[in-house]
Structure 1
Amino acid sequence: MARRAPSEDDDGGLDSLLDTMTNVVGILVLVLIVTQMSVAEVVTRVTSESDIDEEKVAELEQQLLTKKKEAYELSRILVDPLDIDAEAQREELRKSKELLARRQKQIADSKKQMNEYAMKIESDREMAEKAATEIANTKQQREQMQTLIATSLEQKAKLEAMLDQTPKRQVAADVEVSIPNPRPAPPGSKEASFVCSGNQVFPVNAEVFRKRAEVKAKAIIQRLGLDRDPKAGIDPEKFTPLYEKLKDQDNFFDVEYYVQGKTWPRIRLTPREGRGATESMLATPRSRFRRDLLSQLDATKYYGRFYVLPDSFDVYVAARSVFSQQGILAGWEPQNEDWLYTTHITGGIRLGPPPPPPKNPPDPNAPKPKPASVID
C-alpha cells in the first residue's frame, strides 16, 4: 500500500493526539499523587493502631491477672453445697441470734442505765440548787434573827432602865375564888340573870320584857285579824314589819323586837352604856345597885346566873364575891365579845301554819331528863 503524502489534516490529528496524551499523563500523575498520599495515610494509621493495641493488650493482661486472683480468692471462700452441715449452720445461727439478743439487751440496759444516771444527775442538780437557795434563805434569816436579837436586847436594856426608875407599886389583894362545883339549881328556885359587859354588871328583867312583848304582839294580831284562819295560821309577811318596829327599854337595856326564821317572835337586849354596876359600886354596901337590887334577892328563892363577856371577868369576880357574902348560889356562862342576850316571848305565839303532829308521840312513861348544872 502506498504511503500518502502528509497534508494539513494530518497535522491536526497529531495535535489532538498530543493533547490527549498530555491529559492522560496529567491524570496519571494525579492518580499517582493521590495513591501515594493514601498509602502514607494508611501506613500512619496502621502504625498508630498498632501502638494502641499494645497498650490495650497490656491493660487487658492486667485485668486478666486481677480476675484470676479474685477467682482464686472466691474458690477459697466458697464452699461446695454438698459439704455444708445444715445442723451446724442452724446451731451457729442460733448462737448468733442469742449473741445478738444479749448484745441488744446489753445496749438497752446501758441506755436505761444512762437515762437513770441522767435523771439522777438532774435530780442532784435540782437538790443542789434547792440546797443553795435554802442556804441563802437561812443566811438571810440568821442575819434577820441577829438583828432582831440585837433590837430585843436594846429594848430589854431600855425597859430595865425604865423599871429601875419606876417606883414600886403595892401588891393588890388576893382574889378569893371558890372551886367550881357544877350542880343543878335547888328545886323550886328561880333564875336571876345578869349580863357582864363593858366591865359592868347589868341585871336582866327578862320576864317583864317577855310579858310586854306578848301584849304588843297579840294587839297586832287582833288589829289585823291574823288569827281568823287556824289552818293558815298567822301570816308572817303581815305580822313581822309591824312587830319589828316595836321598841322597849328599862334603866339597863334597850330592847329590840325581831322574828326568828319567820316563825318565832323574840326580843334582843342591848346593854345601855354606863348604866351597869362597876366594881366600886359592888364593893360599896350602900350603893344603889346593892341596896335596891341585890339586897332584894331571897337566897332561898333565887340563884344567880351570870353571862360573862371577855372584857368583864374582873367585875364578874367582884359580883360573885358579893353573892357569896349574901349566901346566894350562882353560876356563870362565858360568851364571845359580840354576844347579846336574846329570849322568846310568852303566850305561845307562832307564825305560819301549825306544824303537823309528830309521827312518834313522846312516851309519857319515859324518864325525865336530868336538870342542867347551872350552879358552880
Structure 2
Amino acid sequence: MARRKSNTSATGANMDSLLDALTNVVGILVIVLVAVQLSSQEAARRMEEMIAQIDPAEQERIKQAAKDSEAKLEEMKLALQTESDKEKIDPEKLLAMLQDDIAAAELKAKKDLLAAEAAEKEAEEKKLAAEKLRRSLMAQLATLEEKEKEFTVAKTDLLAKLENMPTLNAPPPKEVRPPTPKDIPRNKDGNALLQERKVLVSNGKVIPFVDPGKQMETAIKNRLKMIIDKNKINVGEGNYISNEAQAMKLIDEFNKDPAKNKYFDLKLVRAGRQIRVEIVPTEECGEEPEEAVRGIFGTVLRNMQGKWYLRYLVEPDSFETYMAMRKVTDSSGFYAGWTIIDPDSYLHSLSSGYNIGEKPPPRPPRDPGKPGPVKGVLD
C-alpha cells in the first residue's frame, strides 16, 4: 500500500510541471501574438507611407506594365491553344493540303513556262519580220539609188542635148475664118424643118454622135426586151415600170451584159423617172477628117441633107479638124453650126424608151398664145 502511494505523488508532481510548462507556453504565445500584431500594424503603416511617396507617372507605368504582362500572358495562352489545335490536325488532311498546294504550284509553273515560250516565239517572229523588213528596205534603197544614178545620167544627157539643139522660131500666126452662118429652113409657123444632130470633135477626130445607127438602136431594144421577158418585169401603159425594184433590175442586168457595139460603150442610167442610155466612144471610135468622109461618118450622113442640120461640139484642140470637116459637110449641102466645149465635158445620152413609176395623167391643153420671134442662126 505504501508503494502505490508513492506512485500517486509522483504523478501529481508531473501534472503540476506540465501545467507550469503550458502556462509558460501560453504566455509566450500571447507575447508573440502581441509582437506580431504590432509588427503588422507597423508594416501596414510603412507601406501606406511608401505608396503615398510613389510618383503618379510611376504608378501609371506600373499599371501599364501590369496590363502588358496580362496581354503577353493572353498571347501565350492563345499560342499554347494554337499549338494544341495543331497537334489535333489530322496528318492525312495536312498531307492532302500540301499535295494540293504542290499541284497548284506545278500548274502555275507550267502556265508560266508556256507563256514564256510563247513570248519568246513571238519575239523571235518579230525579230525575223524586222530583219525581213530591213532587207526589203535595203533592197528598195539600193534600187532607188540605182534609179537616182540613172536619172542623173539621163538628166545630164538631156541637158547636153538641149544645149546643142538649134533655136526654133515659132511659126507665123495662122488666120482662121469660121464659116458663114446659115439660117435653118422653117415652115410658115417658124418651126425648124430639120432635126438637130450633134457631132463631137475631140482629140483631132470626128465622132459621129449624129446617129449611132439603126443597128445599135435595134440591139438596145432587143436586149431590153429579152431582160424584161426573162425576169417577167411588168411594163405598163407608156412603157412605165411601176415596180422600182424591177426597174433597177433591168438597169443592172443590162449593164452587166450590154448590147455590143464596136464604136460605143453603152450603159443604162436612171435620170429621175427616165431610164436613159449613155453612149461613150471607144478607142476605136472617131476618124480623121479624110477617113471620116469615106468611113462611118460618111455612111451615116449620106443623103440626110434634107432631114438633119449638124451641131458640131468642138474641143479647143480640134478646131482645125472641125474646119476641115465643116468644109466637107457644107459642100454636101448640110446646114451646120458649132459650139466650143471643155475637153471631156460632153456626155451623149438618149432615152431607152422606158420610165420608172406610174404614168402621169395627161396635161390639160395650153393656150398657144402669140408666136415668138423666129430663131434660126446656128453660128
TM range (shorter): 0.3 to 0.5
Taking structure 1 as the reference length, what is the TM-score of the superposition? Answer: 0.45
Taking structure 2 as the reference length, what is the TM-score of the superposition? Answer: 0.44
Q: Larger Cα Rg: Structure 1 or Structure 2?
A: 1
